[in-house]
């Protein structure tokens, strides 16, 4: 119970502080609003840049480490299984985004492109 009440209090305090800051900003001059918007945009971009670089480094480094481990014989990666799973996931995402499944002709073309030995 104590943690929930503390969380609610912190949440309410944060909401009040944000409302107060937004009210102060909306009552200030347009020059100050422009400067605040520019500074917050620059800060957001800078933070996104740093997080993006870190994420790219971590993902790329992980892929390189997997390749090295596979080449050294420490692990065995079934790349065909990964490609099939990625294709299924990609198709599911595409279906969810477009809200309609690809036609049988699109699926046939994709099958032929991926399995040229059958073509």
Domain coordinates of the chain in residue numbers?
1-77, 78-118
119's CB contacts (< 8 A; 6+ apart) are: 112
102's CB contacts (< 8 A; 6+ apart) are: 91, 94, 95, 110
The pLDDT value given to residue 57: 95
Alpha helices in the chain, H assignment, sequence order = 2-26, 30-72, 79-98, 104-114
* 54-78: average pLDDT: 91
33-47, 49-63, 77-91, 92-106: which has the minimum mean pLDDT? Answer: 92-106
**How far is Cα 63 from Cα 56, in angstroms, rounded to an integer?**
11
Q: Decide: pTM greater than 0.75.
A: no
Contact 74, 68 (CB under 8 A): no
Residues 4-44: pLDDT tens digits?
788 888 888 888 888 888 888 878 888 888 898 899 999 99
The pLDDT value given to residue 102: 63
Residues 73-85: pLDDT tens digits?
898 888 899 899 9
pLDDT band at 2 (very low <50, low <70, confident <90, very high): low
């Amino acid at each position: 119970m104590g943690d929930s009440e503390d969380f609610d209090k912190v949440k309410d305090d944060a909401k009040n502080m944000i409302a107060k800051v937004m009210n102060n900003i909306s009552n200030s001059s347009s020059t100050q609003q422009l400067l605040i918007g520019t500074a917050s945009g620059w800060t957001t971009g800078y933070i996104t840049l740093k997080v993006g670089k870190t994420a790219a480094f971590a993902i790329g480094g992980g892929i390189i480490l997997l390749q090295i481990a596979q080449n050294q014989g420490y692990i065995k990666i079934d790349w065909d299984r990964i490609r099939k799973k990625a294709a299924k996931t990609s198709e599911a995402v595409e279906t969810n985004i477009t809200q309609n499944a690809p036609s049988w002709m699109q699926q046939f073309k994709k099958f032929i492109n991926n399995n040229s030995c059958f073509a």
